[in-house]
Copies of this chain bind each other. A is one copy, B any other.
Amino acid sequence: MRIAYQGEPGAFGEAAARLFEPRWEPVAFRTFDDVFEGVERGPVHYGIVPIENSVGGSIHRNYDLLVAHHVPIVGEVELPVVHELLAPPGATIDGLRRVYSHPQALAQCERFLGTLKGVEIVATYNTAGSAKQVAEEGHADAAAIASARAGELYGLVRLASGIQDYDDNVTRFLVIGRRPLARGVPDKTTIVFSLANEPGALFKALSAFALRGIDLTKLESRPLPGQPWQYLFYADVGAARDDLACGRALAQLAESAPTLRTLGSYPRWRAAESR
C-alpha cells in the first residue's frame, strides 16, 4: 500500500505514516490539497495529514479540505514532535541571518526564535523541505527547523536540539482513504455541521450526544468564508457511527442542523496498542 504525505522525505508526515503502518510506502506530495487529490483520484491508497498539535492547535487548512473533498477518515495516529535547528556544516547560531520552516513549526519554537537577534524568519511549505533547501544552497547564515531525520537525510548539523517551547508536543494525524482499514473496530466518529442562527442552537446540537452519554472529545469552529460570523462546527464523537445510540444522536442533530456530514468513523489511536 502507498500512503501520501505532504512535504519532503524527513517530514513529520512521513514519520507519522511509518508509525501508523511500517509496512506501507510513504509517498511525498507537495501540498495538503495534493494529498487529498492523490487519494481521491487513486495514485495512492491512503493519505495522512496533521489535524491538531497539542501546542499550536488545529491545522485549519485540513479541516477545510476534509469538507472540500470526499475522502473519509479511516484512522488516526499521534506523533511526538521534536524540532532541531539544522544548518550546513560550519554554521554557527551567532552567524545566522535567516531561519526557514513551516509556520506551525515556527509557532511551536516561538520562545527559542525570540532569543535569536537580527534573524529573518521565513515561512515555507514544509519543515523537511526547508532542510533540503538550506542544504542545497549551503549558505552558512541560513538554518532550518525540522526533524533530526531530515537533518541526517540532507547532511546538516544540529545547532540546537529540542527547541520546541514545550516538551510535551504531540501532533495528531488523520489517515484518509477510500476504503476502511481491516484493523481495529471504529469507536470514534468525526462530523461537521452548521447551526441555525438562533440562541441555544449549539446547546441543542450537543444535547443529542450528552443526553445519551456520548462524549465529545473535540469541538472546533471554522468561519464560513463570505458569511461573516457564521461557522461550521467540527466534532469528534466518542462512539462509532454504527453504534445504536450514536446513530440516534446523529439523527436528532440532523433534525435541527441545516447541514450535517460524517467525515469518518474509525478506531481511536492508542499509543500502546498491539497490532
Chain A residues in the interface with B (C-beta under 8 A): 52-57, 60, 78, 103, 106, 120-123, 165-168, 170, 172, 199-200, 202-204, 206-207, 209-210, 213-223, 225-229, 238
In the docked arrangement, what's the CA distance between A123 and B172, Å?
25
A123: chain B residues within 8 A (beta carbon)? 103, 106, 121-123
A213 touching B199 in the complex, CB below 8 Å, given contacts A122-B122, A220-B221, A221-B219:
yes
Please give me the residue from chain B that is nearest to A230 by CB atom: B54
A215 touching B238 in the complex, CB below 8 Å, given contacts A57-B222, A122-B123:
no
User: Copies per complex?
Assistant: 2
Please give me the residue from chain B that is nearest to A31 by CB atom: B114
Please give me the residue from chain B that is nearest to A80 by CB atom: B228
Q: Are A168 and B206 in contact (CB under 8 A)?
A: no
Partner of A165, one of B52, B60, B204, B225: B225
A215: chain B residues within 8 A (beta carbon)? 199-200
A203 touching B199 in the complex, CB below 8 Å, given contacts A54-B229, A123-B103, A226-B166:
no
A122: chain B residues within 8 A (beta carbon)? 120, 122-123
Please give me the residue from chain B that is nearest to A200 by CB atom: B210
Q: Are B60 and A225 in contact (CB under 8 A)?
A: no
A221: chain B residues within 8 A (beta carbon)? 218-220
8 residue pairs from A and B, CB less than 8 Å apart: A54-B227, A54-B228, A55-B226, A123-B123, A166-B226, A199-B238, A200-B210, A203-B207
Please give me the residue from chain B that is nearest to A217 by CB atom: B229
In the docked arrangement, what's the CA distance between A219 and B216, Å?
15
Partner of A206, one of B165, B202, B213, B225: B202
Please give me the residue from chain B that is nearest to A228 by CB atom: B54
A210 touching B203 in the complex, CB below 8 Å, given contacts A60-B57, A122-B122, A226-B168:
yes
Q: Are A228 and B121 in contact (CB under 8 A)?
A: no
In the docked arrangement, what's the CA distance between A218 and B1, Å?
42
A172: chain B residues within 8 A (beta carbon)? 229
